[in-house]
């Protein structure tokens, strides 16, 4: 069945919502359509073995629950069963609600739980009160969702289409629930390509997604591995925050015959329900730029108290964007390289590449990832690829088991031009990546060569030391009327009693108002003399405030010194980023001194990790490496276009006035 037909099936299922118009809000349609679609699909999957299960249900009555459950699962030939003789098609028209809930209660525990997350019973009661339940049930019963007609993959597409319609009708963002299939396919291919040593016959491979949504990455990973190696068992693990997405993910896994014991509900960052577990392959599309204020306390505590024994040892990003927390979470779940290590594919927006300067949480996280040689490749995707945003996005591929040729190196791939326009845009998604383009990007990655679209860098290329460049403070001093007015306005001097204030002004007026002093020490002595003559006694802070108020910056003045050392002028302070591996002093002599002879490096600012002068920072300026200068058009050509444009406007105006 092709994609066109999947869309038609989804549209038909969604059209059942026409029955709900008037009795239900539009934002509630999805909460009715989705669980009913799941229920019908599960019913169709179980249909071939239903008679056998019912027979066994009667035969096993009175046996312990666990034994009975095992026998019924075996009879059903699935990861779930339903022990009721009822089907959607045979519910009575008089007590539909009671029959329907009895039918749902007869599912095995995992399947039953799916309907609880949708609050299915509440909606069944509301449909019943509105006299709509029987009609809705009849519509779904008449829809063929059998696996012979619609594959599991196709069903996944139908669910995604329904979620998208649901999101549109309730002003939610569909992108929070699932990732477009082309992106899933590309990311999975990049992570699992050339991993034959992991996929040996009879091995068990684990895949994990900490932001599982409706399970797209897990399904695709499973499908990919099955397509290249039939003798491998794939074990899927995931956690999802949204109860409805979780319910769909779990249903999808059950229908595909997967064990759902490792699919968990909850916030991965604050409550990791698969703590201590390690995985072969990890795939994730965490929400872009989402703040983590709600879980700030738990995360900060883990960072502070557990350090590198926890997940967030290297540092914490700013609270407005938690993407890098998901990346650190995944890194903490990598298997020991001696056990074959792990590979990660995670989709992030641009900010994790460069936000935060040297010493910031983001920079320290990048430093940790790069200096531990975990970043293998970063692929820039085209814009307009996601349902809920058109921003630039990147796939990061990480590995703690790099092949020799890739060790100490990072590959950047520009895939921003690999796209085709969609015939009809879906939300913000106007472009998609074709199968051929996916193969091309995987080939670029696999061949690991320096080309115009693939660039290879040593790790240090992304590092720098930020040094603080100081310049001396130079001030002149004067007691003219303008500066005396400032003295009266100075906060600390305003606190003096009025008699002292009057004496202070008299003392200052006695000094020569026209003379400009360019040496602080000399002026300081003159000032103290004048104050003493007029019996004005000031504390050290007050005297400092007075000097400050009578001063002005002056590049011609002498340098102000303290204990014989030049004092730095905070307003002239500057930072320089010195490429990692280069001597900060050589750089300073070459790049700074020719322009400002009196500058010096503040050597007290040293890196917390290596103690050397300058604070280490890491950033990945992706676009700079792929920037191609486009020369502007010749002026004559621009003039010609402008003239043509003004002529057209003139004609239009003449046409109006004619």
- pLDDT 10s digits, 280-321: 999 999 988 888 999 999 999 999 999 999 999 999 999 999
- pLDDT 10s digits, 549-596: 999 999 999 999 988 899 999 999 999 999 998 999 999 999 999 999
Q: Say how far residue 553 (Cα) sits from the centre of its chain.
A: 46
Q: What pLDDT score does 493 carry? A: 83
The rounded distance, in Å, linking the Cα atoms of 17 and 137 is 12
Of 62-66, 222-226, 315-319, 462-466, the least confident:
62-66
Evaluate if residue 243 carries a pLDDT over 60. Answer: yes
Query: Where residue 355 falls among pLDDT bands split at 50, 70, 90?
Result: very high
Evaluate if residue 533 carries a pLDDT over 70. Answer: yes
Q: What pLDDT score does 252 carry? A: 86
The rounded distance, in Å, linking the Cα atoms of 53 and 641 is 78
Task: Compute the average pLDDT of residues 374-397.
Answer: 90
In the numeric block, which tokens belong to residue 559? 């340098």
CB–CB of 317/362 below 8 Å? Answer: yes
Evaluate if residue 523 carries a pLDDT over 60. Answer: yes
Q: What pLDDT score does 550 carry? A: 92
Helix 498-509 with 481-489: angle, nearest 10 deg: 160
CB–CB of 172/427 below 8 Å? Answer: no
- pLDDT 10s digits, 313-345: 999 999 999 999 999 999 999 999 999 999 999
Q: What pLDDT score does 176 carry? A: 61
Domain coordinates in residue numbering, the chain: 3-169, 176-462, 475-566
In the numeric block, which tokens belong to residue 86? 């009822």
Evaluate if residue 175 carries a pLDDT over 60. Answer: no
CB within 8 A of 542, min separation 6: which ones? 492, 493, 496
The rounded distance, in Å, linking the Cα atoms of 291 and 296 is 9
CB within 8 A of 301, min separation 6: which ones? none
CATH of domain 176-462: 3.40.50.150
Could you tell me the pTM of the whole model? Answer: 0.85
Q: What pLDDT score does 426 carry? A: 76
Evaluate if residue 48 carries a pLDDT over 90. Answer: yes
CB–CB of 421/430 below 8 Å? Answer: yes
In the numeric block, which tokens belong to residue 611? 């103690």
Evaluate if residue 75 carries a pLDDT over 80. Answer: yes
Return mean pLDDT, the chain. 90
In the numeric block, which tokens belong to residue 654? 């003449």
Evaluate if residue 171 carries a pLDDT over 80. Answer: no
DSSP state, 426? Answer: E
Q: What pLDDT score does 585 carry? A: 96
Strand, helix or coil at 617?
A: strand
Evaluate if residue 525 carries a pLDDT over 80. Answer: yes
Evaluate if residue 177 carries a pLDDT over 70. Answer: no
Evaluate if residue 146 carries a pLDDT over 60. Answer: yes
Query: Where residue 153 falls among pLDDT bands split at 50, 70, 90?
Result: confident
């Amino acid at each position: 069945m092709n994609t066109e037909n999947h869309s038609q099936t989804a549209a038909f299922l969604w059209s059942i919502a026409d029955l709900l118009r008037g009795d239900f809000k539009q934002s509630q349609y999805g909460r009715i359509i989705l669980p009913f679609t799941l229920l019908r699909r599960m019913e169709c999957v179980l249909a071939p073995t239903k008679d056998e299960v019912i027979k066994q249900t009667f035969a096993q009555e009175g046996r312990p629950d666990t034994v009975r459950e095992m026998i019924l699962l075996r009879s059903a030939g699935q990861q779930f069963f339903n022990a009721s003789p009822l089907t959607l098609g045979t519910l009575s028209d008089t007590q539909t609600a009671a029959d329907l809930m009895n039918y749902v209660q007869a599912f095995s525990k995992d399947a039953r739980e799916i309907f609880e997350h949708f609050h299915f019973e509440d909606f069944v009661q509301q449909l019943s009160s509105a006299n709509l339940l029987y009609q809705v049930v009849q519509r779904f019963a008449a829809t063929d969702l059998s696996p012979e007609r619609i594959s599991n993959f196709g069903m996944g597409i139908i669910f995604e289409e329904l979620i998208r319609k649901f999101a549109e009708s309730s002003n939610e963002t569909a992108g929070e629930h699932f990732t477009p299939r082309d992106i899933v396919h590309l990311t999975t291919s990049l992570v699992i390509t050339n991993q034959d040593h992991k996929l040996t016959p009879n091995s068990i491979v684990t895949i994990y997604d900490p932001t599982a949504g409706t399970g797209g990455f897990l399904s695709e990973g499973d499908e990919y591995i099955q397509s290249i190696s039939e003798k491998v068992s794939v074990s899927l693990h995931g956690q999802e925050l949204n109860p409805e997405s979780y319910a769909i993910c779990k249903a999808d896994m059950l229908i595909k015959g997967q064990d759902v014991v490792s699919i968990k509900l909850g916030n991965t960052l604050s409550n990791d329900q698969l703590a201590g577990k390690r995985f072969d392959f990890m795939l994730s599309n965490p929400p872009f730029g989402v703040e983590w204020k709600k879980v700030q306390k738990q995360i900060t505590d883990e960072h502070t108290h557990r350090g590198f024994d926890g997940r967030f040892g290297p540092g914490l990003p700013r609270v407005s964007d938690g993407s890098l927390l998901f990346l650190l979470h995944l890194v903490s779940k990598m298997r020991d390289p001696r056990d074959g290590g792990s590979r990660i594919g995670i989709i992030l927006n641009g900010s994790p590449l460069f936000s935060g300067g040297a010493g910031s949480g983001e920079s320290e996280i990048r430093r940790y990832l790069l200096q531990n040689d975990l970043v293998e490749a970063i692929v820039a995707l085209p814009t307009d690829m996601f349902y809920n945003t058109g921003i630039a996005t990147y796939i990061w591929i990480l590995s703690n088991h790099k092949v020799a040729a890739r060790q100490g190196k990072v590959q950047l791939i520009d895939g921003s031009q690999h796209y085709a326009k969609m015939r009809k845009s879906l939300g913000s998604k106007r472009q998609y990546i074709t199968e051929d383009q996916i193969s091309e990007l995987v080939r670029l990655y696999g061949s690991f060569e320096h080309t115009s679209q693939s660039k290879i860098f040593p790790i240090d290329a992304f590092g720098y030391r930020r040094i603080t460049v100081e310049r001396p403070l130079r001030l002149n001093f004067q007691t003219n009327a303008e500066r005396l007015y400032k003295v009266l306005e100075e906060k600390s001097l305003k606190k003096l009693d009025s008699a002292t204030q009057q004496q202070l002004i008299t003392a200052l007026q006695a000094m020569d108002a026209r003379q400009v002093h360019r040496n602080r020490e000399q002026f300081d002595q003159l000032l103290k003399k004048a104050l003493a003559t007029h019996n004005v006694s000031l504390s050290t802070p007050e005297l400092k405030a007075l000097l400050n108020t009578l001063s002005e910056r002056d590049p011609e003045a002498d340098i102000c010194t303290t204990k014989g050392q030049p004092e730095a002028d905070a307003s002239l302070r500057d930072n320089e980023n010195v490429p990692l591996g280069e001597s900060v002093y050589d750089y300073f002599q070459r790049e700074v001194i020719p322009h400002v002879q009196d500058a010096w490096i503040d050597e007290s600012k040293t890196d917390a990790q290596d103690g050397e002068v300058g604070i280490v920072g890491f950033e990945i300026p992706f676009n700079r490496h792929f920037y191609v200068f486009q020369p502007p058009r010749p002026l004559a050509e621009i003039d010609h276009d402008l003239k043509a444009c003004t002529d057209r406007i003139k004609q239009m105006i003449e046409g109006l006035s004619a």
